[in-house]
Amino acid sequence: MSADLLGLTGAQAAAKVAGGEIDAGELFGAYRERAAAEKLNAFLWVAEEAPAVADGPLGGVPLAVKDLFCTEGVHSAAGSRILEGYRPPYTSTAVRNLTEAGATLLGKTNMDEFAMGSSNENSGYGPVKNPWDETRVPGGSSGGSAAAVAAGLAPWAIGTDTGGSIRQPASLCGIVGLKPTYGAVSRYGMIAFASSLDQAGPLTRDVTDAALLFRHMVGRDPCDSTSTGHPEDIKLPEAERVDGMKFGVPPELTGEGVEPGVKEVFEATLKLLEDLGGELVEVGLPHSPHGIAAYYVIAPAEASANLARFDGVRYGPRKGNGDLLSLYEETRAEGFGDEVKRRILLGTYALSSGYYDAYYGTAQKVRTKIADDFRAAFEQVDLIVTPTSPTVAFGLGERTEDPLAMYLSDALTVPMPLAGIPAISIPGGLSDGLPVGIQLAGPAFSENRIFEAAHALEGAIGFDGSSARA
């Protein structure tokens, strides 16, 4: 593949296709070849040939799609062995919207099983390697999508974020990832993890690409009654300064647990925001440190109900020794991996008789307090800025023996989905050669504001991700 082609962002490639400078089929073929030959285990399925291209603003630019998005007739297993071989009879709304706008389906990307994980090591199809250092994790759960974009195996990708599953891998792989406002994008056809938190969003090389993909993902969908669409037209950001904008810096999400190298990049970023005309204001998010605890009640509780449907009756492999109970129990015992079992048990326990109020009821109240904290903060500031992940990419195997340590990887990203608000992660720089992500969060439906500020900051940071695409 020519360096010229590989060097283009999604938006640049779409413009060149539209201008007749490059051929969509050639572009697809070049990425297909890279994706088919990759050694990171980022893809679970790669298209054999270029699909028909719809005329549209995405110009036939190939798209990598997380395995949990249903795609008609194409492998969609959510990274789980319990759905091995599953080919859904319909396509998710998010993917359909993007292909109708001209994107072409390049492949399905690896992920933590049912989106449960922060390292991609919980995939039923093997872990993904980080293109910056192949002994390290790409983050999760959208690890395959993040690694594919960072390594130049796809120009852009989509994933889903429940507690950080777009932003944390984007951070660890040195790319941009947006978790939209809950409801902006339809969840129809996304294999569900935690329905009150799950939200689809873009993983891209830069902020403009994220805005462009997001523009074509949003919309109210009669097939998802919790979808609202977006009240604003999504603009491609142009800002180079952030004059007059106030950025809240919460001590709860920028201090304890954040490793020194990450803190250094974060502090340099705060300085850049001031140079660009922004004002820094300390804001309190006193309940955010309880986010992980609340999340690990609510998300597993919802998951335990959502995953009840995987029982060997209608799809996927079937096990058991002739009776109905063993059919259920053996199919689930063999089909689910350890982390999924752990969360089903945790969620079932939290919802079980005698424990419901103590766990689920309390966690829902903490969720209210976390959302109230954000509401109060956004009366003082336009956006909140934090590191995305407390650490850079960690080693493969480093946290697999300690579920709680793995859960705490998401400490800085979990409060936003609990409050339903949008947040982006953009690369802020390197620490010991590994990417550090900066997170900007805003009130519900403030994606345009987030894109503008992120675009200005991106220009000032001047992050170079090309070495990971070599």
Does 56 bind other proteins (CB under 8 A)? Our answer is: no
Does 292 bind other proteins (CB under 8 A)? Our answer is: yes
**Residue among 249 and 371 whose Cβ is closer to other proteins:** 371
Stretch that binds other proteins, among 14-22, 252-260, 351-359, 435-443 (CB under 8 A): 351-359
Q: Give the C-alpha separation, 391 to 117, whole Å.
A: 16
Which of 394, 407, 451, 463 is the binder for other proteins (CB under 8 A)?
Answer: 407
**Residue among 148 and 294 whose Cβ is closer to other proteins:** 294
Does 376 bind other proteins (CB under 8 A)? Our answer is: no
**Residue among 28 and 182 whose Cβ is closer to other proteins:** 182
**Residue among 252 and 452 whose Cβ is closer to other proteins:** 252
User: Taking CB under 8 A as the criterion, which residues in 137-176 touch other proteins?
Assistant: none
Stretch that binds other proteins, among 209-217, 241-249, 264-272, 366-374 (CB under 8 A): 366-374
Task: Tell the smallest beta-carbon distance from residue 391 to other proteins (Å).
Answer: 18
x-or-dash string of contact with other proteins, 15-54, rule CB under 8 A: ----------------------------------------
Task: Tell the smallest beta-carbon distance from residue 334 to other proteins (Å).
Answer: 9
Closest CA to 298 of 224, 373, 226, 361: 361
Would you please indicate which residues are annotated as catalytic (active-site) residues? Answer: 66, 141, 165
Task: Tell the smallest beta-carbon distance from residue 98 to other proteins (Å).
Answer: 22
Residues near other proteins, by CB under 8 A: 86-87, 89-90, 182-183, 196, 222, 225-226, 228, 287, 290, 292-294, 296-297, 304, 308, 311-318, 320, 322-330, 332-333, 336, 338, 341-342, 344-346, 348-349, 352, 358-359, 361-369, 371, 403-404, 407, 419-420, 444
